[in-house]
Amino acid sequence: MATTVDLLSTGVDIPNLENVVFFQYLQSPIEFYQRVGRGTRTGEPRGSKLMFRVYDYTNATRLFGQPFESRARPSREIEDSTQLPPRALVAQVAEAEPPYTTRSLPSIIRVEGFDVHVYGNGRAIVVEKDGRETLMPIEEYEQRLAARLTEEAPTLDDLRDYWVWPERRRALLGRLGGDAAVHLIRFLRDQQEECDLYDVLAELGYGVAARSRAERAAAFTYKQRDWLRGLPGKAAAVLMAMVKQFERGGIDELETPRLFDAEEVQRAGGFNALLGLRLSLEELIRETKVRLLAP
């Protein structure tokens, strides 16, 4: 059995390898095919291996059939049971006796002249129940996570209050349900990679349509126009440059010590442009986050 550590790409030749397990999140079709290709060795003696299995915990098999691009565009569609969330098993490839029934037919994908049969066992996430790990349908776990979220933060305003304080935000995420919640949240964020995690949870818990970081940055520009005009010119320019950092990477970009090292922020005036204002630097950044996340 081989797992997808960084060494499992080119140059690895294990003729009798029968199981390839994906635990790592991949976006490159080239890298995916390199790793799947470790299982295509014909075996020793040559021709003795007739099949191998792919176990997919990270939805890597969505890359079957994708063109070989140097930088893949992540798929945002999960249309059938063969596309799975973190830690959910994907079924086997080419069993000696077909494990499917008429209700569970395989997806057949043509790859370099071969028919690849992928059997989907549904979408599930591993949770701990009665001291044991068990699979729970992802839809059910989403409902539980949403209920837990609204218990901790009854309204969207409460969630925003948590979100602008890094320590409170981390504590909230820690109370939502341990590792299973972390895996599901990462999975949901992967499907909406243009959104900050705040918007992913807002949609999950409160039914609010998720807004991308670019949409929030654009809304800040015109909704906060009067507030920005009340600041010295260079300070307003620096805040707009900081909002651009949010657009690129989310709320974490406004909390990194490297924020004022960003070229765009330095060009706008940098750290010095925010000194001597009525609000302290910490208060100004927090106020910017509140306004960015406003409805």
Average pLDDT over residues 88-98: 33
Given a contact cutoff of 8 angstroms between Cβ atoms, the answer to whether 72 and 111 are in contact is no
pLDDT at 161: 95
pLDDT tens readout for residues 131-166: 776 777 778 888 888 999 999 999 999 999 999 999
Give the three-state DSSP class for 25.
Answer: coil
Q: Which helix (H) or strand (E) holds 247?
A: helix 233-249
In this predicted structure, what is the pLDDT of residue 191?
A: 66
Mean pLDDT along residues 223-239: 92
Q: Assign 51 a pLDDT band (cuts: 50, 70, 90).
A: confident
222, burial (CB in 10 Å: exposed 0-12, middle 13-18, buried 19+): exposed
Q: What is the pLDDT of residue 25?
A: 76
Give yes or no for a contact between 149 and 201, defined as CB atoms under 8 angstroms apart: yes
